[in-house]
Structure 1
Amino acid sequence: MIESRKDDHIRIASGQNVEEGNNLFNEVQLIHMALPEIDLDDVDTSITIFNKRLSFPFIIGAMTGGTETAEKINTILAKCAEEYGIGMYVGSQRVAIVKPETARSFRVVAENAPTALKIANLGAPQVSRLDEKVLSDWVSQAIDMINADAIAIHLNPAQEVFQPEGEPWFRGVIDKLRFIKRVANRPLIVKEVGNGISMEVAKALVSKVGPDAIDVAGTGGTSFIRIESIRAGTTDEADVFSGWGIPTAISICEVRSVYNGVIIASGGIRSGLDGAKAIAIGANAFSMSRPLLLAALKGYDEAKRFIGKLLREFKIAMFLTGSRSVDELGKAPIVFGPTIISWLSQRNIPCKHIRRFM
């Protein structure tokens, strides 16, 4: 059952060590400005994305839906998104489309976050098998279910390969993405789920789809290879592929080298400082999932406290780099470590001021 799989994901992600790889933000150094020439109160962390004003460039990551536990988690996170004026993805909505009785677990997001940026979510393997009439209906249902401001299609080939009930169906996905872009009447986000997006994939998306945003979701955080292998009892295979993918910091650089649209950074981001580094090397916003899951399972107050901590860390990073605005943070001086420099050199991606090469 899809519902039991959703609860498995929550149980394993919250109760076991499922974070793998290195996002390489340890190799991104922001330059300290001892004379920032601004006061901390002068720092403006807000941005506008998809015509929504966010108090800081943070989006609660895609997590769950379809079960009673998921409904409670989504309610808490939606309340936080509304209070802080930030964005929120929902988990894959297929379960609510094929089992309408579970849709309530998603609708609570619209009810509790009426003005927040809300992002619907469907999986690429599933949409790849739908004809255009059915696909159009799925897209409309997903958007209407949460009154979404944008829709994300997630690319998860590694997860599908390791999932016991996996559907590793990716033939024809580009055509379906192009169709969704045409009919959704909302910005289209194409995202990974923890293994990163390469320059080649970004080029294909730019030339054939024209997404409004790309969420890189690189390695260094929650591994769905690990989660699904635990469910399947095939952890030996997961050990072989441990850390498979593109580190988040590098994925940002790869995508930014060929894409001039909105980049959302996710994959092992664990602090406001990580988020600031992501912005400095080319992202427009950042996202995280597992830390918010753990916080939400402890209740609203803990989730609210965690987001407040992120905001303060992000604002401090801006202040200490002399950045009055998020746009200025995107131009702050940076230094890369040797792994990133080597990777970008071998991939023929300009290293110096990577965010300016588009």
Structure 2
Amino acid sequence: MTDNPPEDPTAASRKEDHIELAFRSQVDSLSLDERFYYEPLLAAHPSPGSLPKVAFGDKEMKAPLWVSSMTGGTEKAYTINQNLAQACNEFGLGMGLGSCRPLLYGTERLKDFDIRQLTGDDVPLFANLGVAQIQELFAAGREQEIRQMCDLLRVDGLIIHVNPFQEAMQPEGDIFTEAPLTTVKATLEALPGLQVIVKEVGQGMGPQSLSRLLELPLLAVDTAANGGTNFSKLELLRSDDARREAFAPIVKAGHSANEMVDWVNEICAKDQPQTTGELRQGAGLARTQVQCKHLIISGGIRTFLDGYYLTEKSELPAVYGQASAFLKYARDDYATLQAYVNAQIRGLELAKAYLRPKL
């Protein structure tokens, strides 16, 4: 140490802050996050941009963060989707568009969905249609319009959202003419080469539905679990008081993301040959040959730690999705959304360096 060491110009103010904030920084041991081992000795601070790239289909993402399908067909949607597309380009994220149903009736709202020039060609971008709309197209012999729509939007494939409770709760809801699984299979057969993702809309899926989907050659299954935006509940809120009271219990049914990841892991049990597995006896399911390539874990993912834990836990290659969190920051200026995404990615970098999931 030298006789006249340089002064720390921030020392006084920093220590004053420490004194003032010390009592507010106490953490109750009961509130500790028990999902991780904290290992502070094993890594230097990670460099920004140090996350490993994530393969998703024939594309790569710079972070395992997916912008879940949200909105389209309104003036507000234009600003939201423009901001989200710019973030996907800057940070290398994947994105699912909101329901592209308006494009089946004309191109008046095309500007809301036509964002490939903003995302760039390197990131995954997917169109989105509901099972009911796809059933109508098949019934009318118009199923090739699905591929035409995807070509128009220059997307990488199609998300099929499955929403029987939402349609039942919606005052102007559609009626399914056949089981959604039949429609998914028909889409894969009628449109070979089209990458398909299947998701629910906020209540998740049970083990039998997951098992039947995972045996199909899908690009991904999106959990869309209960705990995030529940579109069945959203539609029920649009109903009258008597209907809301009568159907309130049904929108509480569903499954959490953690529960669904556990089921997927059982289906994909590593100790079975050829990535086959059997669910526990209570599920009553036969062994499943897994063909689905990826899992998108969404629904109730509040923080980057939720996403980090569940993607690390998943036996299938996984990314995690958020909808309402992105929506909150994407409605106004891009700088607000940019700051949010930057913080999420930095959080993932720190988690990967210092936290080990207790799997």
TM-score, normalised relative to structure 2: 0.77
In the aligned structure 2, how far is the partner of 1:154 from the partner of 1:32?
A: 38
In the aligned structure 1, how far is the partner of 2:227 from the partner of 2:214?
A: 25
Instruction: Write the mapping of 1:274-289 to structure 2, written as runs, cut at 5 A.
Output: 274-282=306-314, 284-289=318-323
Q: 1:163 to 1:334 in 2, by over 3 A?
A: same
Q: 1:79 to 1:199 in 2, by over 3 A?
A: same
Q: CA deviation at 1:201?
A: 0.6
Q: CA deviation at 1:100?
A: 2.3
Q: Which moved more, 1:167-176 or 1:111-120?
A: 167-176
Q: CA deviation at 1:130?
A: 2.8
Q: What amino acid is the match of 1:279?
A: T
In the aligned structure 2, how far is the partner of 1:133 from the partner of 1:161?
A: 23
Q: CA deviation at 1:173?
A: 2.9
Q: Deviations over 1:23-45 (max 9, x none)?
A: xxx99712222333465239534
Large movers: runs of 4+ above 4 Å: none
Name the SS of the counterpart of 1:35 in structure 2.
Answer: coil
Map of 1:272 onto structure 2: 304
How well do the aligned residues superpose, as a CA RMSD in angstroms?
Answer: 2.3
Q: What amino acid is the match of 1:211?
A: L
Q: Is this contact kept in 2: 1:121–1:142, CA < 8 A?
A: no
One of 192, 195, 218 as aligned partner of 1:187: 195
1:57 aligns with 2:81: no
Q: CA deviation at 1:294?
A: 1.4
Map of 2:233 onto structure 1: 226
In the aligned structure 1, how far is the partner of 2:328 from the partner of 2:265?
A: 31
Map of 2:257 onto structure 1: 248
In the aligned structure 1, how far is the partner of 2:322 from the partner of 2:192?
A: 25
- In structure 1, runs of 5+ residues without a counterpart are 1-25, 322-331, 336-358
In the aligned structure 2, how far is the partner of 1:111 from the partner of 1:129?
A: 30
In the aligned structure 1, how far is the partner of 2:318 from the partner of 2:55?
A: 10
Q: Is this contact kept in 2: 1:28–1:277, CA < 8 A?
A: no
Q: CA deviation at 1:127?
A: 1.2
Name the SS of the counterpart of 2:339 in structure 1.
Answer: helix
Name the SS of the counterpart of 1:241 in structure 2.
Answer: helix
Q: Is this contact kept in 2: 1:198–1:255, CA < 8 A?
A: no
Q: Is this contact kept in 2: 1:143–1:151, CA < 8 A?
A: yes
Name the SS of the counterpart of 1:31 in structure 2.
Answer: strand
Q: Deviations over 1:100-148 (max 9, x none)?
A: 21222111x1121122210111111221233277453232133123211
1:334 aligns with 2:341: no
Q: Is this contact kept in 2: 1:60–1:87, CA < 8 A?
A: yes
Q: CA deviation at 1:318?
A: 0.9
Q: What amino acid is the match of 2:337?
A: A
More helix by share: 1
In the aligned structure 1, how far is the partner of 2:186 from the partner of 2:264?
A: 22
In the aligned structure 2, how far is the partner of 1:142 from the partner of 1:252?
A: 32
Q: What amino acid is the match of 1:294?
A: K
Q: Deviations over 1:42-67 (max 9, x none)?
A: 95342111121211011111011112
Q: Deviations over 1:203-235 (max 9, x none)?
A: 22234x332211011011112122101112333
Q: Which moved more, 1:166-175 or 1:74-83?
A: 166-175
Q: CA deviation at 1:264?
A: 0.5
Map of 1:205 onto structure 2: 213
In the aligned structure 1, how far is the partner of 2:183 from the partner of 2:83?
A: 33
Map of 1:319 onto structure 2: 353
Map of 1:326 onto structure 2: none
Q: How many residues align?
A: 298
Instruction: Write the mapping of 1:1-358 to structure 2, written as runs, cut at 5 A.
Output: 29-37=35-43, 39-41=45-47, 43-107=50-114, 109-115=115-121, 116-131=123-138, 134-169=141-176, 171-182=178-189, 183-207=191-215, 209-233=216-240, 234-259=243-268, 260=290, 261-282=293-314, 284-321=318-355, 333-334=357-358
Name the SS of the counterpart of 1:128 in structure 2.
Answer: helix
Q: CA deviation at 1:70?
A: 1.1
- In structure 2, runs of 5+ residues without a counterpart are 1-31, 269-289
Higher relative contact order (CA 8 A, sep 6+): 1
Q: Is this contact kept in 2: 1:220–1:243, CA < 8 A?
A: no
